[in-house]
Structure 1
């Protein structure tokens, strides 16, 4: 009987004698935290032009290399210009004729005016006046015709209207093109800077406005954004707000917010899907490392703190994320010891002892440096 009693007492004694487990902790202090929200986005070309001819003709030369950046005004295509050269010569001859005719009509008018009632009648004067006005009009028309003919001749060299990257040509030497045709000869895209349209839920916009009005959030004077590329790489450039849309999408319930990013290396291409973090203001909150919190079966965000030497589960109220942390506006108090490691086996009521720890840039727990 004494042996059985000893066996049944052993687990109780062992449980009573088990020491408290050491866990890494962070001391929670409320601070001003940039309020950022992760948003899906898509890259849009800053400028994109479909190159079409303004005059018709046979393509005689392709003057660019696809994929090689061109400047505004650089030639892209050359069209056969024989017809337009002839038109320029014809209009130039007409201009010379009009310029030669004007002094003759001017002299006739001056003579009729001088000899009025002395060999020239009023009818002669009016006729001379009409002929002079017609000669001036003919001269102006000839100048305009020559200017237009020279302009059309210049259009036979199809030039880049903007700087950018041209695509592979859609025409070949010898093809006939027509003015204003629907098919583009090529497409020219400017990649630096580049636009990124991010989709903000309209409900979040209402929440942000409410928080600004009740003072729990301070709006930034400028709105910045950072990007994460499709492969997970963090883009080093920072975007500036261009304009938010004034319309909520009827299908997605989102508002498109456009940002401009510098893109000197052309790493971001139009059509890419991206993730962006938009910093819209600051809020007083606690920063809880994402590794130290978990979602409950009900979807609540929870974490463990030390209370009277034991682990205590608390429910947090998150308000977005910042770097590797949850931005928490409720559920904690200043001075709370947040447990950041040993969480896989952590249960409420477990005896624990806190050891100061730090979180590195990757979100990993490190021992706090000891004071010298």
Structure 2
């Protein structure tokens, strides 16, 4: 006889109820919530982006000072590396030989004038005597002697001018105002012996010229605007200069020369810009980057981290009103920097979108690894953006 205790009956009833509860509809697991992502609408603002090209700086005038006559270099009158004014005395070459040549040339002029006076007096006497006293041949001979004496005077005067010029070359003066280089020849050396010896250089740095090569793909924009008679002077007068340490020169420059031909070997055109240099902050020979402005009206910008690229092209993830993710192909422009509220924080890099995106689109800027085409997400709006500040875009830098 099997006797069930009350405790055993209660245990069996509890196990049966638990088993039935697990087999019912409540046995299904609840789906996870949509993954969270951070979205942001594009910033829309006017932007000026500078296309930059490596350049070499040169003074507006760079003059080599050379010895134009032969002689011993006797004196120097300037301080190396200091500024001089136009007409300032720089060197003195020994003058004694040229002073002697000048004196001899003056004597030759006097001798020629005396010979001319004698020939003219002789011709005058023959003419006064008349044809009965002298023959026509004598008169013609006297006239030829006068003409020859006049030629001798002109020749002597030309030699005198040459002697004066040679003597003036011994006193070397600065042809421009500028900053002096070092003395390349020590005093006491013979200079100008067979060739014009280089003595020093002077560079006029009141203005600085920047020479750089512009690729033909960028020159095409200039050629098109020129052919359409569009005014491009506004851009040509707003080029900027970025120095080797990354600082931007305070004065804007002007493009004053564009070569009339594209180099077939480098596929570039030589361009020159001029920048004022009143404080002497720039020097000839420096490396710099010249920035040419490109205007972007109502530019649409998104954080650069949200712009992705694969074999299918460049794209961003956008979220619609139903919180559904979709891939959106875009065309990108240059990159700019956006200063954060914390001035010590690293600026945010934004990319200008030239096609494929609207200002009202919600772009995923954080949680990109959770984005899938057609997936549902839980979007959270990012903090308010500030307008971007122009940055030199690497993809637009001149090569």
TM-score surpassing 0.5? Answer: yes
Match among 354, 357, 360 for residue 329 of structure 1: 354
Structure 1 residues 257, 298: CA separation in 2 closer, same or farther (over 3 Å shift)? farther
State the Cα RMSD in Å.
Answer: 3.7
- SS of corresponding position for 1:190: strand
Q: Verify: 1:28 aligned to 2:44, yes or no.
A: yes
Aligned-pair distance for 1:111?
A: 1.8
Task: Indicate whether 1:244 and 2:258 are aligned.
Answer: yes
Verify the 8 A CA contact 2:41 2:359 in the aligned structure 1: no
What is aligned with 1:96?
110
Change (3 A) 1:57 1:228: same
Q: Which residue of 2 aligns with 1:277?
A: 291
Instruction: State the match for 1:317 in structure 2.
Output: 331
CA distance in 2, matches of 1:155, 1:85: 12
Q: Is the 8 A contact 2:41 2:361 kept in 1?
A: no
Larger Rg: 2
Per the alignment, in what secondary structure is the counterpart of residue 385 of structure 2?
Answer: strand
Question: What is the DSSP-based 3-state SS (H/G/I as helix, E as strand, rest coil) of the residue aligned with 1:185?
Answer: strand
2:320 aligned with 1:307: yes
Distance 1:180 1:318 in 2: 63
Report the Cα distance in structure 2 between the residues aligned to 1:265 and 1:239, rounded to whole angstroms. Answer: 15
Shift of 1:234: 0.8
Bigger shift: residues 291-300 or 75-84 = 291-300
In structure 2, how many angstroms separate the alpha carbons of the residues matched to 1:6 and 1:172? 104
Alpha-carbon separation, structure 2, partners of 1:206 and 1:145:
57
Distance 1:292 1:200 in 2: 30
Shift of 1:153: 0.4
TM-score using structure 1 length: 0.77
Instruction: Normalising by structure 2, report the TM-score.
Output: 0.73
CA distance in 1, matches of 2:54, 2:122: 79
Please say if residues 170 and 184 of structure 1, whose CA atoms lie closer than 8 Å, have aligned partners that are also in contact.
yes
2:221 matches 1:221: no
What's the counterpart of residue 381 of structure 2? 353
Q: Is the 8 A contact 1:105 1:128 kept in 2?
A: yes
Q: Which runs of 5+ in 2 are unaligned?
A: 1-17, 339-349, 372-376, 392-399
